[in-house]
Amino acid sequence: MTDPPPASSREPTKPSFAEFVQLEIGGTFQDASPTPIRIVDPNRELYGLALSGGGIRSATFNLGLAQGLHRLGLLRGFDYLSTVSGGGYFGSFWSAWR
């Protein structure tokens, strides 16, 4: 029986945020994404939208939030979407619709 490798060699290396963005801009994750990556200017700020959980109440709240953002012309300005629980109801619809 051999000794297990040291903990440092078992842990995967994690890229820095800047490295992650460069990998994504380069298309590394494009095959795993249902929506093609459409970053036109890699030097611009990236924005994310986080939709909270809470069942059907949060789903209806997030729908109202998205409707308000759409009316203001801001909804298409988000590059990333993060959802939890009820936020996923609207998030999955929006991801398929975009």
Does residue 57 contact residue 86 with C-beta atoms inside 8 Å?
Answer: yes
Q: What is the pLDDT of residues 35-74, one digit of tens each?
A: 555 656 667 788 899 998 888 898 899 999 999 999 999 9
Name the nearest CA neighbour of 81 among 70, 73, 67, 93.
Answer: 93
Dist CA 98 CA 2 (whole Å): 52
The residue ranking higher by pLDDT, 92 or 29, is: 92
Q: Which of 15-24, 27-36, 38-47, 84-93 has the lowest mean pLDDT?
A: 27-36
What is the reported pTM? 0.54
Instruction: Among 14-23, 35-44, 72-81, 89-98, name the most confident range.
Output: 72-81
Mean pLDDT value of segment 29-40: 56
Does residue 17 contact residue 50 with C-beta atoms inside 8 Å?
Answer: no
Q: How many CB atoms lie within 10 A of CB 31?
A: 6
Kindly list the distances between the CA atom of residue 73 and the CA atoms of 20, 59, 69, in Å, as whole numbers in the listed order.
28, 21, 6
Q: How many CB atoms lie within 10 A of CB 91?
A: 20
